[in-house]
Amino acid sequence: MGRHSCCYKQKLRKGLWSPEEDEKLIRHISNFGHGCWSSVPKLAGLARCGKSCRLRWINYLRPDLKRGTFSLHEEKLIIELHDVLGNKWSQIAAQLPGRTDNEIKNHWNTSIKKQLMQRGVDPNTHKPLSKVNEESIENKSQVSYDQKDHIHTCPPATHEFLINRFVTTHETFSYTQPPTESADMFFTDSDTDPTRSTTDSLNQSDNVGCIQTNSGYHPWGLTDAMKSQNQSHGLEDYIKWNDQYLPFLLGKPSIESKPDVNYEQDQSVDACNKQIQRISTSYAHFS
DNA sequence: AAAGATAGCAACCGCCTGCTT
DNA sequence: CAAGCAGGCGGTTGCTATCTT
């Protein structure tokens, strides 16, 4: 594909936007909307490419932008979402009203990353740095083995791994329905009230969540009763996700060579645990 | 006060995906 | 089905402001 066609045009301005250019763009979009971005520069009287206009509007001129420094809550949220989503800045930004993906990405790279490193946390894996170092040493020796056998890098997929990745213990697994379709994950209160806004929910509950699919809302995580039960046993009450594995859990394998797993429409917790057992069996050859 | 180093951020680049022709 | 186009995304660059020496 190469470069965007509009970028080939001659005499297009680049670099920082002048106040006059901003004004033209704001006036045009306020009056007519952006429509097709590639036509915006011409209609707005700007010597810029459509992509540049789009970026300027989304990252800087949009009226609903919050701007200013990130609050502690926002930073916490970014860290948690990054743990789940990785560098999916647009998805992370979608959970922070008034913030852009670019803004979050910049803040991550310039500030949050350093904070995490100072706290001894690896910003990529969100694990303690000491643990990451140990694993990297182990992985180095593993790489040669994998290369020898032409096995691409695959995570360990033992039952324990999957359980640990998705749920803390069997008892804590609290789907009311197994999800059946592609899903966008979001968090909500344990009452799983879909009318609550995501950010409101996140303010109140970090560890109990919900999967939203086309077929409805599927709570996951710990009920309050389970939380207190687990805490009395000294168990962690958070649930870790990995977007690479999420499609499997949802029956939507997205990476080649992964086993096709069908999920039954069974609403019992036992059935969910059986599904996990089945997944881990399917992965057994990787471990 | 000046020069160099560092941090923060706006914007660009290149790639990917989905839609249209 | 292939090619072209537009929109979107993540990674990166480079400019500017601030800090340090």
Residue A128's contacts (CB-CB under 8 Å, 6 or more residues apart) are A120, A121, A122
- Residue A57 (CA) to nucleotide B20 (C1'), in angstroms, measures 26
- Residue A2 (CA) to nucleotide B14 (C1'), in angstroms, measures 7
> Could you tell me the pLDDT band of residue A9, with boundaries at 50, 70 and 90?
very low
Rounded mean pLDDT of chain A? 57
- Nucleic acid strand B: bases within 7 A of protein CB: 7-18
- pLDDT value of position A192: 31
> Alpha-carbon distance A283 to A287, whole Å?
7
Question: Would you call A151 helix, strand, or coil by DSSP?
Answer: coil
A234-253 pLDDT, tens digit each: 322 222 233 333 333 333 32
- pLDDT value of position A122: 86
- Residue A16 (CA) to nucleotide B8 (C1'), in angstroms, measures 15
- What are phi and psi for residue A211, nearest 5 degrees? -105, 130
- pLDDT value of position A209: 33
**How many CA atoms lie within 13 Å of A17's alpha carbon, on the beta-carbon side?**
21
A34-66 pLDDT, tens digit each: 888 888 998 899 999 999 999 999 999 988 888
Contact A120/A130 with Cβ under 8 angstroms? yes
Sheet arrangement for strand A216-220: A183-187, A209-213, A216-220
- The fold for domain A11-63 equals Arc Repressor Mutant, subunit A (1.10.10)
**A276: nearest Cα among A188, A219, A266, A81:** A266
pTM: 0.54
A147-183 pLDDT, tens digit each: 333 323 333 333 333 333 333 222 222 222 333 333 3
* CA end-to-end span of chain A: 39
- Residue A87 (CA) to nucleotide B8 (C1'), in angstroms, measures 19
A104-146 pLDDT, tens digit each: 999 998 899 888 888 888 888 888 877 666 666 665 555 433 3
Residue A265 pLDDT more than 50? no
Contact A185/A239 with Cβ under 8 angstroms? no
CATH for A68-129 is: 1.10.10.60
Residue A85, Cβ neighbours under 10 Å: how many? 19
Q: Is A178 exposed, middle or buried (0-12, 13-18, 19+ CB in 10 A)?
A: buried
> Alpha-carbon distance A176 to A92, whole Å?
26
Question: Parallel, antiparallel, or unpaired: how do β-strands A209-213 and A183-187 relate?
Answer: antiparallel
**A57: nearest Cα among A12, A48, A70:** A48
Contact A230/A260 with Cβ under 8 angstroms? no
Q: Which residues touch strand B (CB under 7 A)?
A: A 1-4, 7, 13-17, 48, 51-52, 55-56, 59-60, 69, 102-103, 105-107, 109-111, 114
- pLDDT value of position A130: 74
Q: Which nucleotide is nearest to A108 (CA to C1')?
A: B8
Domain ranges of chain A: 11-63, 68-129
More confident residue, A107 or A224: A107
